[in-house]
Structure 1
Amino acid sequence: MTIGEFPAGSGSHEEPNLREQAYDRMREQIFTRELPPGGLLSEVRLAKAYGISRTPVREAIKQLAQVGLVRLVPGRGAFVTELAPHDVVEIYELREQLECYAIRIGARRLTDEQIAELETLADEADRLRDANDLKAAFELAVATHRRFTRAARNVRLARILEQLEDESRRVSHMTFMRPGRLAAALAEHRDILAALRARDGDAAETALRVHLRADRDAAVDQFAPDTY
C-alpha cells in the first residue's frame, strides 16, 4: 500500500479534519502492518508522507495511544503497540462473553427485514470472495459481524463493544492473513444467520462462539512458535 497525500489546507478550521485523516490513515496502516508492531512513529516522516504539518500527525498519534494502538514512551517517542498471543486470547475471551450474550438477545429482537439485510450482505461477501476481491469481502464480513453483535440494541453494551473495536479489528486482520480463513469465516456467518432466521438464541450463541474461537486460533497461529 502506498501512503497517499492529503489535500493541503491553510485555514485553522481544516486542522481537525487533517488530524482525523491522519488518524484514519495510521490506524489502517497499523491494522495492515504497513506500520509494523513495535515500529517507531516518526512525526517528520509521516507528516512528509501525508503532505501535512506535524501538528495533526502528533494529535493523531495521541488519539491512537488512547485506544491502545500506540505506546508513548517518554524521551523515546511513540511506538506501534506490539501484540502477543496472550493479548489475542484476552481480547477473544472478552469478546466471546460480550458478543455471545448480545447475539442471544438479538435473536429475539431482529426484525425480518434486518435478517434479510444480513443475508444480502452475506451474499455480497460471497460474491466478492468468488471474484477474488478478498479485501472487500473481508471488510464486508467485518461489517456483517458488527451487525450480529449490535443486534441486542443495548446502548451500554454497544458502547463497551466499541471500546474494543480497534483492538478487535487489528486482530481480525491477523485472521485474514491465514489462507482459507476468510472462506471458513463466511461459512460460519451463514450458520449464525440460519440460527437468527430461526429465532434460536441458543443456536446463534453456539454458532458465534464457534466462529470466534476459530478466529482466535487463526490469529494465534500468525505468531512464531517460540512466542507462545
Structure 2
Amino acid sequence: MSNKPAKPKSLTDQAYEVIREAILTNELKPETLWTDRELSEKFGLSRTPVREAVLRLKTQKLVEILPRRGTRILPLSVDDIREIQQLSKALELEAARSISLQDDRTERAKDIGRAVEAMEQAIETEDRQSWVKADMQFHRAIMFACNNNRLCDMYLSMRELTDRARFFTMHVRELPRKSTVEHRQIYEAICTGDSIRLAELYHAHWARTTKELLSIIEQQDNASMFRNSG
C-alpha cells in the first residue's frame, strides 16, 4: 500500500467546496445575486478559482450565471425534490445492494457505520445541524463504497439539491429519531448481506422521508428557498 501523502486540493476545488457549503446551508440565500468580486471578498478567495467554481456549481443547478450581472443562487421546486428523491433512491439502493453482495462488505461499510454513529450522537445531543451533516456522510459513504464512479457521479450531482432542502427544513421538522433507527437498520442489512431486507428498508425509508420532506416544503411555499412549479 502506498504511503504517499494525499494530493492537496486545488484552489478551484477549495472555492467550490466553500461556496457549495454556503449554498447548502442557506448562507447564500436563494434569489440573491453575487458578483465574482463579492464572492471572492466574502470568502477570502481569489477571483479566478471563484469563477471556475461557479461554472461547476452551474452544472449542478445550484446557480445561474447572468451575463454582466453576476451569479444568481437558484431556488428549489417541489417537483425538483420529488423527481430527485425518486432517482436518488434507485441509484443508492443499487449501490447498497452491490456492497451487500461483496465478501468484504463489512470492511467497505466502515464509513457508513461511522456516519450512523455520528447521527446517533447528534440525536443524543439534539444537534440538528450535525445530524444533517452525518446524514449526508451516510449517503455519500454508500455511494463511494460501491466502487462505481459513474453511478456515484450521477447520484452526487442530484443530491446537492435535496441536501439544501434538508438544511433548510431541519429546524421545522421533528428530531429525526426514526430516520436514525432506519439508517442503522440499513447499515446492518448491508453488513449481513441481506439484500431482500435491504430493499424493503429502502423503499419504506425513502417513501416516508420523501412524504415528510415534501409536506414541509409545501407548507413553506412562501419561503424564498422554494418555488412552485406550476
TM class by shorter chain equals 0.7 to 0.9
Normalised by the length of structure 1, the TM-score is 0.78
**Within 2, Cα distance between the matches of 1:93 and 1:163?**
14
Residue segments in structure 2 that go unaligned for 5+ positions in a row: 1-9, 223-227
Q: Which residue of the partner structure matches residue 5 of structure 2? A: none
Give a deviation string over 1:195-221, Cα, whole Å, max 9, x none. 224321121122122222333233322
Note the residue ranges of structure 1 that are not aligned, 5 or more in a row: 1-15
Amino acid at match of 2:29: P
How far 1:98 moved relative to its partner? Answer: 1.5
- Aligned residue for 2:61, secondary structure, equals coil
2:105 is aligned with 1:96: no
Q: Distance in 1 between matches of 2:70 and 2:77?
A: 21
Q: How many aligned positions are there? A: 212
Q: 1:166 to 1:119 in 2, by over 3 A?
A: closer
Q: What is residue 71 of structure 2 aligned with on the other side?
A: 78
The structural deviation recorded for 1:151 is 4.3
2:58 is matched with which residue: 65, 74, 77? 65
**SS state at 2:101 partner:** helix
The aligned residue for residue 203 of structure 1 is 197
AA aligned opposite 1:93: Q
TM-score w.r.t. structure 2 length?
A: 0.77
**Secondary structure in 1 matching 2:72:** strand
Identity, % of aligned positions: 25
Equivalent residues of 2:132, 2:166 under 8 A apart: no
Q: Distance in 1 between matches of 2:206 and 2:197?
A: 14
Structure-2 residue corresponding to 1:43: 36
Cα deviation 1:74-133 (Å, max 9, x = unaligned): 344321112110000111111122122222232212523444664444233212321233
RMSD: 2.7
2:137 is matched with which residue?
143
